[in-house]
Amino acid sequence: MNFSEKVKYVRMKLELSQGDLAKAIGIFYFTISRWERENREPQIAMLGKFYNYCERQGIRFESEGGECKKTD
């Protein structure tokens, strides 16, 4: 699973718009849009914000095969 797919997965799982996810992470809306649309990898600081948010929401990504798992 590439980063763009991870972002879309998180948004769909949490039922968030791009703007809602951006606000929750503390970044600009167009950044989320670019990640999804252009399949861009974020800078390390932004990547950390995204994964920290995912962990707080109980979502983690397996390193092998890129599988997504929501933990409760």
User: Span 3-70: which CATH code?
Assistant: 1.10.260.40
SS3 content of the chain, % helix, strand, coil (to 5): 60, 10, 35
Token readout for 12 is: 């769909």
Structure confidence at residue 71 (pLDDT)? 60
Structure confidence at residue 1 (pLDDT)? 83
pLDDT greater than 80 at residue 53: yes
* φ, ψ dihedrals at 26, nearest 5°: 90, 35
| pTM to 2 decimal places | 0.81
pLDDT tens for each residue of 59-71: 988 765 555 665 6
Average pLDDT of 39-49?
85
pLDDT tens for each residue of 12-41: 999 999 999 999 999 999 999 999 988 777
18 touches 11 (CB < 8 A): yes
